[in-house]
A and B are shown apart, each in its own frame.
Chain A
Amino acid sequence: MTALLETRGVWQRFGGLVANSDVSISVGRGEIVGLIGPNGAGKSTLFNLIAGVLPPTQGSIWFDGEDVTRLPAAERCQRGIGRTFQVVKSFETMTVIDNVIVGALIRNTVMRVARRKAYEVLEFCGLAARANVLASDLVPSEKRRLEVARALATEPKLLLLDEVLTGLTPVEAKTGVELVRKVRDTGVTVLMVEHVMEIVMPLVDRAIVLDLGKVLVEGKPNEVVRDPKVITAYLGDRHAVGA
């Protein structure tokens, strides 16, 4: 079976800065893959390349057996890539349900159907009670969930989650983790960028560690966290010896 998502030798340069150099990763169907790494490792850049915010300087991106390297974000969404934003980007003047309807409209052209679909997604994400509230009135953890709901309404095959669990209280993070599992159980593949190792590691099937724009290590989460290279990247040389 071919991978759902594959990046082949992807480079991204911003002027003299190399954000991604020769990154080749693949994500299989039904997996939850964690993309981790210290600040400035190039996680967000890679994420944006996959979502189609900008095309890579070099290399190609394959999704579901198709080269999507040059496709703009909207068309990738059409193909089945859904995403959330690290800094939440709710439609603030619209109600929660209307936010989700925007996402639902890509698969449903009849308004009544789109509205019902949006409501189902809100129930799935535990936001149904807030359906008619303005997005600007939501608390931060609810806004994160709205990001996920909106992306899910586009019925993605691959869901890209950009730090959805960061900055939440432990209880909120726990419900977040449950939500991600629930999403995967519906057959959606998940690629998530995360900072907080202890939350992500039990959740993901596989972790890919980026450092200085390159893939450092890839493997089972418990192996990855013990890898001296990873510890060095996160904590510096001094701690690697102790490990």
Chain B
Amino acid sequence: MDKDFAKRRRRELIVAFCLAVIAALVPLFVKDVYVQNVMVLTLMYAALSQSWNILSGYCGQISLGHALYFGLGAYTTALLFTKFGVLPWFGMLAGGVISALIAMALGYPCFRLRGHYFVIATIVIAEIGLLLIQNWEWAGAALGIDIPVRGDSWLKFQFTRSKLPYFYFALALACVAWFVTWWLEDSKWGYWWRAVKDNPDAAESLGVVVFNSKMGAAAVSAFLVAVGGSFYAQFVSYIDPESVMGFQFSLLMALPAVLGGIGTLWGPLLGAVILIPLTELTRSFIGGSGRGVDLIVYGTLIVLISLALPRGLVSLFARPKFFWRKAAVR
């Protein structure tokens, strides 16, 4: 029984490794820049959604304000680079740490709220953050920041001629977010978080300090999302408040996890792989006039999934295995 569990854990690692290798080989065959761009975004959202899943999926504190941390990461990196010449790698780290600290500062009052009230608070706080940045002259206000091009290099994390370095970074980020989740799943925190999600009173009676568990989840989640934001700033090389802190980012972090399976290890990845290319395709197919059509696509998908597979798409994978096992017994 102990062995079965260890075997399952090892199998997950192997599957993830194989998927990562396959993903790393894809650019050898796919040279189209547009498709590569979609792949970068897919991997980035997989990483973001995986990070969102730590707080909202495992710990059950549904946040629709993660755009705040995404934007903080992007702005910290961009500001440090343009104003002080700090390399984006340090900016990334700084953005992560700042976001984690802010997440805990915000969690201090907000984690006393339960259910819908918490969700509303996250939306409102992210909007406040957006308004603050929009009115902050030094940080470019509504105009945003143009990240100056200083030539292609890994040191400055800028690449104008090829998307590939971004692709590999996004892949690495997705791997890290997945691995952190995998590792946390079988740690004290992982069990505490799920206990807090299912029943905080019972968790408290078993020695779980509910408040601290939520704070821990918020910090890890915000850190990883901010790293994603830093990456995005480098990737698009121009940021403005709406394009890195808008509400749609909060949605785009939540939806893949919800679609794939909230609070599961593979859900966010699966959801992102389906949702993000679909979004990009509808967007480019319909063109600039169709703003909002992608939202209709999300909405329809979510309704269908919650009706047919309330535990997300990953539950499709659980079922056939069950049948095989039954067949084998007979």
Q: Could you tell me which A residues sit within 8 Å of B by CB distance?
A: 51, 53, 72-74, 77-78, 82-83, 85, 89-94, 98, 101-103, 105-106, 109, 111-112, 115-116, 119, 131-132, 150-151, 153-154
Interface pairs (26), CB distance under 8 Å: A73-B204, A74-B208, A77-B206, A78-B207, A85-B201, A85-B205, A89-B201, A91-B198, A91-B202, A91-B203, A92-B199, A102-B192, A102-B195, A102-B203, A102-B206, A103-B206, A103-B207, A106-B207, A115-B2, A119-B2, A131-B1, A150-B202, A151-B205, A151-B206, A153-B206, A154-B207
Measured between alpha carbons, how far is A77 from B194 in the docked complex, in Å?
19
Of A89, A91, A92, which is in contact with the most chain B CB atoms at under 10 Å from its CB? A91
Say which residue of B188, B192, B201, B209 sits within 8 Å of A109 (CB atoms). Answer: B188
B207-A74 in contact (CB<8A):
yes
Chain A hits for B207, CB < 8 A: 74, 77-78, 103, 105-106, 154
| A101/B205 contact (C-beta < 8 A), A93-B197, A93-B263, A94-B198 known | no
Of B187, B195, B201, B206, which is in contact with the most chain A CB atoms at under 10 Å from its CB? B206
A106-B194 in contact (CB<8A):
no
Measured between alpha carbons, how far is A136 from B191 in the docked complex, in Å?
17
Chain A hits for B201, CB < 8 A: 53, 85, 89
Q: Does B5 contact A (CB under 8 A)?
A: yes
Number of interface residues of B (CB under 8 A): 24
B199-A90 in contact (CB<8A):
yes
Chain B hits for A83, CB < 8 A: 205
A91-B195 in contact (CB<8A):
yes
Given contacts A93-B197, A102-B206, could you give 4 more A-B pairs where the C-beta distance is less than 8 Å?
A89-B202, A91-B195, A91-B198, A92-B199
0 or 1 for each of B1-19: is its CB under 8 Å from A? (1 = yes): 1100100000000000000
Chain B hits for A151, CB < 8 A: 205-206
Measured between alpha carbons, how far is A94 from B263 in the docked complex, in Å?
11
A92 CB to nearest chain B CB (Å): 6
Q: Does B186 contact A (CB under 8 A)?
A: yes
B204-A150 in contact (CB<8A):
no
| A106/B204 contact (C-beta < 8 A), A91-B199, A111-B187, A119-B2 known | no
Measured between alpha carbons, how far is A100 from B116 in the docked complex, in Å?
29
Chain B hits for A105, CB < 8 A: 188, 191-192, 207
| A154/B206 contact (C-beta < 8 A), A101-B191, A111-B187 known | yes
B209 CB to nearest chain A CB (Å): 5
0 or 1 for each of B198-220: is its CB under 8 Å from A? (1 = yes): 11011111111110000000000
Chain A hits for B206, CB < 8 A: 77, 82, 102-103, 106, 150-151, 153-154
B2-A98 in contact (CB<8A):
no
